[in-house]
Structure 1
Amino acid sequence: MVVPGGGRQQERAVAGLSDLRLRVALAPVTWLWLQLSRRQQKVALRSVERALDVLAGIASPAAAPRLLASRLADRLMEAGGKDRVRDPMGWLLGRGLVQRPACPDVRCDDGIRLDTGSDCPTCGNIVHTRRALRAQITALVEAERPYSDPATRRAEVDRCLRKETVLEEQQAQSRRVRTVREVEQRQQAIARRRVLEEEAELARWQAPCADCGLPESAGLCPTCSHRRRTEKLVGEAVDLAVSVRADLSDASAVAELTQQCEADTHALLAVACERACGADADPAWVAFTEPQVAERIRNERRSAALRLLLQSKEAVAEADAAYQAGLRRGGRGAEEAAEQVAEEAGRRAAEFLLRRRLGELHSVRQRAAARPIPGGVVIDAA
């Protein structure tokens, strides 16, 4: 009996699904949804989603709906059409959605490779292997029973083949069990590692501040983090000033100038922060502002150190040499180009001298920290 508007009703039954993948996959069996209850549809949808996930892992997520639709269409044709399906729910879960590998290859479905759509080569190899095994057993039986009648030899060949088939199936089952066990062990190991990582992350977030002890600060609260950043920038600003002003061969002079620069820099920082935040500013706001002000002071000290080193004999000699080399090239605008080259050469020389003096400053402090200097003054290593 044909139901008027049945085609449109079938289309609406599947079109009501929100997931496009499900609508594409179930397109060949839209008739089925009219015969399933809501509870059965929920169960069937879960099975469809699992089948799509498996196909996505074998082929690709984009191809999975099309592959499942093709499988359902083939299984429906195999059953003889929808009129031959007496139990839609049982047919869908037991036949339509089930992958049927004809060989141990997980990509095989009824002898077809799911990822390529071509004939499964493993199935072909199995057929070839079985034919070779039959020929081998037949030759062995004929050699053992040369005078037996053909029917007896065929019966013996079949018995030996069944024995080999049972043994092969037992071995395959052992391999499948071993594979399943290995997969479960890997999944358990991944789950254990995930739990350990989550516990470590939780412990890290719950760790108190290493400086002030504030709980649940992930090891360092924002205020102490700003303070550490400020101290680092102040130290760099002090080093820049000392490296170009101090006699690096005199450890006592270096220590004295370092103490003076530290006091001056902290005073400058306090004045600049008060000017930027106000006298009665929130301490948290002041702590946030201090690193930015300290970075500006550090950059200004670096620029001043480079300007001072640009006037050094080494930088001037490097610039003059570059200027003379530029003039010798000749051509239009040679003088302007030589001046630009000289400026770049002087800047590179000043940056090199600054790096060298900073390295010498650190070496002086390390040597002073290793032994007390005359007068009992001990310099802390930077």
Structure 2
Amino acid sequence: MSLAPVAALWRLLSRGQQAVIRRAAVQALGSLSELVDAQSAPQLLADRLADRLDEVGGEALVREPVGWLLGRGLVQRQVCGDVRCDDGIRLDTRGDCPGCVAVTAERRAVRARVRGEIDAELAGDGVVVRQAAFEERLRERTALNADRACARRARIVVEVEARQAAAVRRREAEQAAEAERRSAACTQCGLPGAAGLCPQCTYRRRADALMTEAVDLVVAVRADLDDAAQGTELTERCAADTRALLTRACQRAGGSDEALMAFTAPQVAAQLLDERRVSAVRRLLVSEEAEAEAEAVYEAFLRRRPGGHRAAEAAAEEARRRTAEYLLRHKLGQLQVVRARVAAGRKPTWRNESAAGVTSPADNLVVTPGGVAPHRASAS
């Protein structure tokens, strides 16, 4: 179907020439299929061949069928920079190409402007003189525009090469920095080529961080946060006990192998942290705040649903658990504030604030089945 408009030319070709034209037609169809749907591509190619035959006056005026098909009939001719343009027609819409319309309008505007300039400059001369001057001025403008386009392309090439060179330098700098980072010695033990921190020191650092969290859990729920000295003493004693416990557990798991002990330490510390978090929450479950919130939720639930004692008990237990978790987070935050005040040479003021009538968030906490909400006194 695609080559139907040039059927007469096709019969003039040998088998070898037909094979060449067939491959060129398949390639042209592939290019069209990238711009339009595959079903429309054959018809578009046939229309292109028909239009090109009309340009030359029909098949009878084509002297070299192979050359004409390869050089003019099958190839796309972009008038503007749009890849969908073919002889000023948009392949996807089959309408006029907007880019070509703009180029044509600009050229007409330039010609009209030049015509006006010539008519104004040579008003007293004849038509032949003005036409010659007009054509000369157009050639000058065309040459000037061509020079400007050439200079613009050269400038773009230089800019692209500069960007590519900068990208190469940036990659080289990044590779050099990465190589330097990888070859850096461990900052803890001095092992060369450890990228700043060897695996064993990485495990130890992770274990230390987990152990610090485990110690804070104990101090937060056991220490009087208003007594900085007590908190410091309990932190030191708990840290020593936790360190010893961690060491014994690692020795049981890894024996005398230091690498295995270092690898085991974060896992043991994580397990210890989880156990102490559960223990801290369990300790706060029986606190006065948790008991009060559980009782308030239980009574509120029964007021809404009299007789639903089991559901009320479940809601109260959920409120107790959420209150305990909130209190734990609150105490951990208080502990960090106390330490920051001590480090800055200031005394903790939690008790003073409470005495002055400033309450902590835990004082106003009510946990309901729907979540945590400010406590409101319930009517009896």
Tell me the TM-score normalised to structure 1 length: 0.69
Greater mean deviation of Cα atoms: 234-243 or 95-104: 95-104
Give the direction of change, closer, same or farther, for the CA distance of 1:259–1:144 in structure 2 (3 Å limit). Answer: closer
Equivalence for 1:343: 317
CA distance in 2, matches of 1:322, 1:180: 75
Once the two structures are TM-superposed, the CA of residue 242 in structure 1 deviates from its matched residue by 1.4
CA distance in 2, matches of 1:185, 1:96: 41
Once the two structures are TM-superposed, the CA of residue 296 in structure 1 deviates from its matched residue by 0.7
Equivalence for 1:221: 198
CA distance in 2, matches of 1:81, 1:220: 79
CA distance in 1, matches of 2:148, 2:340: 70
Matched, 1:156 2:156: no
Q: 2:210 aligns with which of 223, 233, 237?
A: 233
Aligned residues of 2:217 and 2:277 also touching (Cα < 8 A): yes
Greater mean deviation of Cα atoms: 286-295 or 114-123: 114-123
Amino acid at match of 1:325: A
Equivalence for 2:155: 178
Superposed CA deviations along residues 210-232 of structure 1, whole A, max 9, x for unmatched, are 11111221211110000001111
State the secondary structure of the residue aligned to 1:308.
helix
Once the two structures are TM-superposed, the CA of residue 234 in structure 1 deviates from its matched residue by 0.9
Matched, 1:136 2:110: no
CA distance in 1, matches of 2:78, 2:154: 16
Equivalence for 1:358: 332
Higher relative contact order (CA 8 A, sep 6+): 2
Aligned residues of 2:48 and 2:74 also touching (Cα < 8 A): no
Superposed CA deviations along residues 70-89 of structure 1, whole A, max 9, x for unmatched, are 99x979x9797996449xxx
CA distance in 1, matches of 2:64, 2:310: 89
Once the two structures are TM-superposed, the CA of residue 321 in structure 1 deviates from its matched residue by 0.7
Once the two structures are TM-superposed, the CA of residue 202 in structure 1 deviates from its matched residue by 1.8
Once the two structures are TM-superposed, the CA of residue 118 in structure 1 deviates from its matched residue by 6.4
Equivalence for 1:295: 270
Aligned residues: 322
Matched, 1:279 2:265: no
Please show how residues 1-382 of structure 1 align to structure 2 within 5 Å. Answer: 2=14, 27-28=26-27, 84-85=66-67, 102-103=79-80, 111=88, 119-275=96-252, 277=253, 279-280=255-256, 282-330=257-305, 334-371=308-345
Once the two structures are TM-superposed, the CA of residue 336 in structure 1 deviates from its matched residue by 2.2
Once the two structures are TM-superposed, the CA of residue 3 in structure 1 deviates from its matched residue by 5.7
CA distance in 2, matches of 1:267, 1:114: 79
Give the direction of change, closer, same or farther, for the CA distance of 1:184–1:204 in structure 2 (3 Å limit). Answer: same
Give the direction of change, closer, same or farther, for the CA distance of 1:125–1:363 in structure 2 (3 Å limit). Answer: closer
Structure 2 stretches lacking a partner, 5+ long: 1-12, 54-61, 348-380
CA distance in 2, matches of 1:26, 1:186: 39
CA distance in 2, matches of 1:271, 1:343: 37
Amino acid at match of 1:336: R
State the secondary structure of the residue aligned to 2:274.
helix
Greater mean deviation of Cα atoms: 124-133 or 109-118: 109-118
Amino acid at match of 1:326: F
Once the two structures are TM-superposed, the CA of residue 290 in structure 1 deviates from its matched residue by 1.0
Superposed CA deviations along residues 46-76 of structure 1, whole A, max 9, x for unmatched, are xxxxxx9xx9xxx89x99xx99xx99x979x
Structure 1 stretches lacking a partner, 5+ long: 15-24, 30-51, 374-382
Amino acid at match of 1:338: A
CA distance in 2, matches of 1:115, 1:284: 67
Once the two structures are TM-superposed, the CA of residue 120 in structure 1 deviates from its matched residue by 3.9
CA distance in 2, matches of 1:115, 1:265: 74
CA distance in 1, matches of 2:312, 2:226: 36
Once the two structures are TM-superposed, the CA of residue 171 in structure 1 deviates from its matched residue by 2.1
Give the direction of change, closer, same or farther, for the CA distance of 1:82–1:279 in structure 2 (3 Å limit). Answer: farther
Superposed CA deviations along residues 327-373 of structure 1, whole A, max 9, x for unmatched, are 11116x72222222212221221122112222222233333334499
Once the two structures are TM-superposed, the CA of residue 10 in structure 1 deviates from its matched residue by 10
Identical-pair percentage: 47
Amino acid at match of 1:368: V
Tell me the TM-score normalised to structure 2 length: 0.69
Aligned residues of 2:79 and 2:87 also touching (Cα < 8 A): yes
